[in-house]
């Protein structure tokens, strides 16, 4: 019965997008476990703050889920050297810019966002 106003849902969306980007580009990171641990600690602490009165934790969770799903769609894995492959002689097959799991995550995320 009350109105919730603030940017915290959007900030949680950015945290969700950061987590999906970390999972998508897992092989690029040099210190994988520490990056994941740090991000998870930030998310848990902020969700714990949402337990306080007059804080809308549903906006935080909704922002996180939507940011997580949109991260798989809008933050593809960078492919260094993919543009140079376009200058190859004819007859040589080009590799796809994206990995198979990126297609799967993108399609599943898009379907979930449309359903939601």
2, 54, 60, 96: which one is catalytic?
Answer: 60
Closest by CA to 69, choosing from 113, 114, 23, 18, is 113
Q: Is 60 a catalytic residue?
A: yes
Cα gap 112→20, rounded to integer Å: 15
Looking up tokens 């902020």, which residue turns up? 46
Q: Is 4 a catalytic residue?
A: no
Beta strands in the chain (DSSP E): none
Cα gap 78→102, rounded to integer Å: 11
4, 8, 30, 54: which one is catalytic?
Answer: 8
Residues belonging to the active site? 8, 60
């Amino acid at each position: 019965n009350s109105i919730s106003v603030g940017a915290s849902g959007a900030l949680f969306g950015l945290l969700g997008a950061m987590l999906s980007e970390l999972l998508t580009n897992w092989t690029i990171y040099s210190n994988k476990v520490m990056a994941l641990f740090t991000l998870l600690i930030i998310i848990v602490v902020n969700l714990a703050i949402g337990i306080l009165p007059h804080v809308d934790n549903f906006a935080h969770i909704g922002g996180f889920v939507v940011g997580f799903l949109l991260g798989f769609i809008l933050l593809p894995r960078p492919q260094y050297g993919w543009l140079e492959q376009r200058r190859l002689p004819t007859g040589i097959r080009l590799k796809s810019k994206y990995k198979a799991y990126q297609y799967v995550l993108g399609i599943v995320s898009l379907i979930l966002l449309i359903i939601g």
